[in-house]
Amino acid sequence: MVDLIMKDILGTPAILVGLFALIGLLVQRKNSGDVVSGTLKTVMGFVILNAGANVLVQSLGQFSSMFDEAFAVEGVIPNNEAIVALAQENFGTETAMIMLFGMIVNILLARFSPFKYIFLTGHHTMFMACLIAVILTTGGFSGASIIILGSIILGALMVLSPAMLQPFTRKVTGSDDFAVGHFGSIGYFVSAVVGKSVGKDSKSTEEIKVPKSLGFLRDTSVSVSLTMVILFFVVAGFAGPSFVETELSGGQNFLVFAFMQGLTFAAGVYIILAGVRMLLGEIVPAFKGIADKVVPNAKPALDAPAIFPFAGNAVIIGFLCSFIAGLISMLFLPLLGLSVIVPGLVPHFFTGAAAGVFGNATGGRRGAVFGSMANGIMISFLPALLLPVLGSLGFQGTTFGDADFGVVGIVLGNIIRLIESNLIVGLAILGLLVLLFLLGWKTKANDNKNDVNAA
């Protein structure tokens, strides 16, 4: 039953978000037709988003194969799904229990603290629960202590992460309707700060002037298609026709295959944007019931692609610049005695694109470029620094990819390594979380004061 609830229900993002929409609509006492329609459309929006992500991943997988063949790259490839799958054999029970009670802690903190965020990105909740379980187990925790401490850490991160990013999220969306609930938030935060520092007087990526003859490039789908087709042509050329046609395309001409894969990528982006629009159209009104009754003023914290429609050009700029930064970082990692982190196209697309959107919001085009490059550097160096604290799980050829996993894992692992007593470790971690909450309280109070003065 625990396995069913944790993996098949709460571990399925579409069902988790649908459950919250259902609760919200029921609390609002909507009629049965609205409840059924709103719940199903919310789930459908997430399914569409996930379908687009799968299309993207399939296309990026082909790109990655050609890239590896072309440039003979060997190293650790960050992939959250892969590392969690490897960890489940030894840490499955701890992961499930930390995830369940962590979600309860999230709701309690949202109810009784100023941070009114309900983290709805279920798969990222599971990934972070797994990371915490691995670090605490490697550090000697077991039994009830690992569940209690792990749940408190996870629940706190589920409200602190969206809260940290919300001032910039408001700048991106122009409203306060939802937050970003994704454990790449530290990278997005850094991107926004970098954008603010370098982007004075820089125009938005969405204001790029295009000659009339190239007016078709204003269509995001067309510009994404052309960009990715060119990239696929270049990498396919370096990989060679024989490899592509023998190993990947099933005999199809390598240029035709590259062309179709570029269009497949663009189709994935289009599907994601359609799913996000449907999801936001249903979850925000439905969530009002939870906000009014269960957690007053609560905001849904949604997956990173929720902000993609607000700056389509920044999405592509962010992805490309983050990936370029990952390639450059790959050259420097061995010089510092660290494992080579091969740029994973999936983390660089999703987190790089989001970083580009945040960088653009605070610093325009320069912000999008340099902010997403800062993210690319972070998700190259942090996974390399994380490997030693993962114990035996750090020797599997893959690791956690997004920025928050690296920061949380490194901090948590080094606290445990430096302090031998588990009791003192627990108190130190709880003390750190209390400090973060106090700083957040003070910041929020200042924000509210500024809002009042502005009004």
Give residue 349's pLDDT band: very low, low, confident or very high (50, 70, 90): confident
Average pLDDT value over all residues in the chain: 82
Kindly report the backbone phi and psi dihedral angles of residue 14, in degrees, each rounded to the nearest multiple of 5, phi listed first: -60, -40
pLDDT at 443: 60
pLDDT at 74: 66
Kindly report the backbone phi and psi dihedral angles of residue 341, in degrees, each rounded to the nearest multiple of 5, phi listed first: -100, 110
Tokens 């849904």 locate to: 300
- Would you call 203 helix, strand, or coil by DSSP? coil
Sorted by sequence, the CB contacts under 8 Å of residue 450 that are 6+ apart come out as none
Strands (E), 320-362: none
pTM: 0.78
Q: Identify the top-confidence range among 70-74, 111-115, 427-431.
A: 111-115
How many whole angstroms separate alpha carbon 152 and alpha carbon 129?
11
Task: Please write the tens of the pLDDT for every residue from 219-251.
Answer: 667 777 887 888 889 889 988 899 988 888 888
- Would you call 98 helix, strand, or coil by DSSP? helix
Cα 71 to the center of its chain, rounded Å: 28
Average confidence (pLDDT) over 84-103: 79
Give residue 192's pLDDT band: very low, low, confident or very high (50, 70, 90): very high
Question: Does the pLDDT of residue 392 top 80, yes or no?
Answer: no
Q: Identify any residues that bridge with 398 across adjacent strands, giving them in sequence order.
A: 77
How many whole angstroms separate alpha carbon 47 and alpha carbon 49?
5
pLDDT at 169: 94
pLDDT at 394: 55
Q: Identify the top-confidence range among 28-32, 144-148, 181-185.
A: 181-185
Q: Residue 99's CB: how many other CB atoms inside 10 A?
A: 25
**What percentage of the chain has pLDDT greater than the value 90?**
23
Question: Does the pLDDT of residue 47 top 80, yes or no?
Answer: yes
Query: In this predicted model, which residue has the larger pLDDT, 427 or 455?
Result: 427
